[in-house]
Amino acid sequence: MPQMTVLEILNRTKVFFEKKGVPDARLDAEYIISHGLGMKSRMDIYLNFEKPLTAAELDTLRPLVARRANREPLQHIIGDTSFRGFIIKCDMRALVPRPETEALVDMAKDALKGNENPFIVEVGTGTGAISIACAKEIAGAKVLATDISEEALSLARENADANELGANAEGSNLAFAQGDLLDAVSTDTKIDCLIANLPYIPDSEKGKLQPEVDKFDPELALYGGPDGLTLVRKLLQQTEGKLSMGAPIFLEIGSEQAEVLKDEATNYPWLEFTGIHKDYCGNIRFVSYKNK
């Protein structure tokens, strides 16, 4: 019996994923096969279409394919993802960071130009991706990443270590703290920039999300109360007296929530609502404030 080639297994995997409702079936098949076969990138598949696969290689691929067919996130199976070029380990302890979220780092960089030693706080750090990028990219910054979940913080610390920002790394400018929103910030130092990508999905959406989210993401990181904004409002309320003059706040939210937050801005008289912002795909995804 002739051995199955890389192209044949790719095509079979694509069809199998399509039957299971996997989004981007062909692309995910490429990623999983290239990962399972130890290739440097999925593009290597195209250089090895006619390569026959051994029984051992097929045995390696089968459980990986089965996991994705069960709608486990691709990033969990591969083990990591790229966020602004930094490799971020991913598993069930925190949400997988999305490319769209990278814009928060650009917003912070632009706002902090001219501030030589900004103190940046990220609330709800999850994998630590945003804080790691800020610590790496914003010169002179001191970054504090907080989360209420000790499991998420353990993952974030692993990612900090992997990106040479761990507690034992020389000159590390990234620290972590556990607590509920700004209650985790014990220092009296005024915050120069506050960033948060908090849970903002309404509770009514439980059980209605994609299986990748519903089955494999921590519920604590997803849902934000009846309209999704409970934690966002609580965070904004906590900012009084904790920000330096003119300090910006950047929040990721659901597209339909931006106007609600704009209308509610008068609830925080020490803050000025400064804008509704779109992500790289042109979708409303962020709002911003600054301390008066």
Instruction: Look at residues 18, 37, 70 and tell me which one is the last residue of a structural domain.
Output: 70
Find, among 69, 76, 79, 73, the residue nearest to 22 by Cα: 69
How confident is the model over 11-31, as pLDDT tens digits? 999 999 999 999 999 999 999
Kindly tell me the sign of the dihedral angle through the C-alpha atoms of 253, 82, 121, 137: negative
Residue 113 token pair: 């130009």
- Interatomic CA distance for residues 141 and 241, integer angstroms: 21
For 59, counting Cβ atoms within 10 Å of its Cβ (0-12 exposed, 13-18 middle, 19+ buried), the class is exposed
Structural domain contains residue 75: no
CB count in 10 Å sphere of residue 213: 18
Structural domain contains residue 226: yes
Is residue 167 pLDDT above 80, yes or no? no
Same domain, 158 and 110: yes
Is residue 199 pLDDT above 60, yes or no? yes
Same domain, 118 and 196: yes
- Interatomic CA distance for residues 87 and 79, integer angstroms: 10
DSSP 30-85: HHHHHHHTT-SSGGGGGG-TTPBPPHHHHHHHHHHHHHHHTT--HHHHH-EEEETT
Same domain, 197 and 149: yes
Is residue 252 pLDDT above 60, yes or no? yes
CB count in 10 Å sphere of residue 292: 12
Same domain, 63 and 102: no
| Average pLDDT score, the chain | 95
| Residue 116's CATH number | 3.40.50.150
For 276, counting Cβ atoms within 10 Å of its Cβ (0-12 exposed, 13-18 middle, 19+ buried), the class is middle
Is residue 228 pLDDT above 80, yes or no? yes
Same domain, 42 and 177: no
Please report how the helices 103-111 and 129-137 are oriented relative to each other, as an axis angle in degrees rounded to 10.
40
Q: Band of the pLDDT at 42, cuts 50, 70, 90?
A: confident
Is residue 4 pLDDT above 60, yes or no? yes
How confident is the model over 98-138, as pLDDT tens digits? 999 999 999 999 999 989 999 999 999 999 999 999 999 99
Same domain, 152 and 242: yes
Domain that holds residue 13: 6-70
- Interatomic CA distance for residues 35 and 16, integer angstroms: 18
CB count in 10 Å sphere of residue 76: 19
Q: Output the pLDDT for position 2.
A: 65
How confident is the model over 143-159, as pLDDT tens digits? 999 999 999 999 999 99
How confident is the model over 256-289, as pLDDT tens digits? 999 999 999 999 999 999 999 999 999 999 999 9
Q: Output the pLDDT for position 97.
A: 96
Q: Band of the pLDDT at 163, cuts 50, 70, 90?
A: very high
Same domain, 233 and 265: yes
Structural domain contains residue 145: yes
State the residue for tokens 């790229």. 82
Structural domain contains residue 262: yes
Is residue 71 pLDDT above 80, yes or no? yes
Instruction: For residues 50-62, give the mean pLDDT.
Output: 95
Structural domain contains residue 27: yes
Is residue 1 pLDDT above 70, yes or no? no
Tally of domains within the chain: 2
Structural domain contains residue 81: no
How confident is the model over 83-95, as pLDDT tens digits? 999 999 999 999 9
The residues facing 243 across adjacent strands are 191
Structural domain contains residue 269: yes
Structural domain contains residue 265: yes
